[in-house]
Chains A and B, each alone.
Chain A
Amino acid sequence: MSNRETYDSAFTETFMIEAKDLPGLKYQGVAAWDSVGHMALMAALEEAFGIEMDIDDIIEFSGYEAGQAILSKYNVAIEPAA
């Protein structure tokens, strides 16, 4: 599974949404991405990529695209969308 697929799966499985809904998705853009959902997403990404994110990065993780830039700090490169 590519990093892109892993990244997308964290969102779709945590928030029970479809991949087509991911581009442009922001915090609170769907009901499931609330403060609890945010922690669940962070935990899913940390487990999937074997990283531990800093508090500042968790706070800055405000959307689907923003998250990709943040993960690059942890040497997790999300491939460009097909």
Chain B
Amino acid sequence: MSETQAHPGFDINGIIRHQRNRYPVLLIDRVTAVDPGKSAQAVKCFTYNEWFFPGHFDDEPNVPGFVQIESLTQTFIMTFLCMEEYKGMKTNFVSINNVRFRRKIVPGDVLRIEAKLTSFKRGLAIGSVESFVGEEPACSGDFVVAVPDILDRYKPRS
């Protein structure tokens, strides 16, 4: 896609139309850029009103690792769910590797997430995701995600 025709991304209503995660586990606020089939960028703004901060922890609120991973994943799946033929499909984790947590994320932080799709074939999406707070690296990892509705098309006949 040329720069002059760059996809504008999605606001929260656009995200909801394209993926199935909902409160309390819809964990990106805006898709700021997307190159269908190649990459996506998103932001997640963490406020003290998040449901997990009172429990993690009451004296030192910070974003749990699984929430960070889910934010990265939801950005990653937008690399292909943004395409009309895959819009709204549910996804499952297959594997997560090389995960690094480089920075504590606290109320007031804005997590900027950059996802790259390196392969999307027969319902298996493979790629890598990085995230940042300001210019500081935060969580990153390599992801493999399955799309069951597509996998089912290739199941052997019994």
Contacts and interface: CB of A to CB of B under 8 A. Distances in A.
Interface in B109-158: 121-124, 146, 148, 151-158
A27 B158 contact: yes
Interface stretch (A11-19, A52-60, A73-81): A52-60
A80 B127 CA distance: 38
B156 A42 contact: no
Contacts of B123: 39
A38 B157 contact: no
A39 B151 contact: yes
Contacts of B153: 55
B155 A38 contact: yes
**What band does the interface of chain B fall in when counting residues whose beta carbon is under 8 Å from A?**
10 to 19
Interface of A: 27-28, 35-36, 38-40, 42-43, 55, 58-63
Given A38-B156, A39-B123, A39-B154, 12 more contacts: A27-B155, A27-B158, A35-B148, A35-B152, A36-B92, A36-B151, A39-B124, A40-B124, A59-B155, A59-B157, A60-B156, A60-B157
A43 B126 CA distance: 12
A42 B151 CA distance: 12
9 contacts: A35-B152, A35-B155, A36-B92, A36-B124, A36-B151, A39-B124, A42-B122, A58-B156, A63-B156
